[in-house]
Structures are given as C-alpha cells and as structure tokens.
Amino acid sequence: MPTKYRFGDKYRIQRREKDHLPPNVHLTGGGLDVLICLELVEPTRGTAPAVVLREALEWIRTHRNELMEEWKRWHP
C-alpha cells in the first residue's frame, strides 16, 4: 500500500495495488478508510471530517493525472 501523501500527522492517501474498479485511492488514518474515486474525485465509501476530506480532495485533484497513470500501470 504505497502512501502518496501524508497530512495532519495521522492521515494519508494510499494507492492499493490489488484494488477494484473504478480507479480509486484510500484516505486512511485516525480510524478512517474512505474510498475516493479518481474519475469523479469524490468519496464513494466512508466518511471523514470535512476539513480532512477537503484537504485530501484538493491534493487528489492536483495529482489526479499522476494517480490515474499509476492506476493504469498496476491495473492494465
């Protein structure tokens, strides 16, 4: 589970190699496991405090192309 980004001393964005469609990343830490769809850049499962989710989604939007390319390499 490569960590792509860490913030707030306990939260991280992770990509999982053997994951399912649609392309996604996970917001984890502090008891969270929020599935975030890379196509829509929005959560599809789980909840997080608004400030945490806002920072995570902003980072994902900025790095979406890179994350999608990685997804395609791991899930041909």
pLDDT, tens only, 14-69: 988 778 889 999 999 999 999 999 999 999 999 999 999 999 999 999 999 999 99
**pTM score of the predicted model:** 0.90
Quickly list H helices, 1-76: 50-74
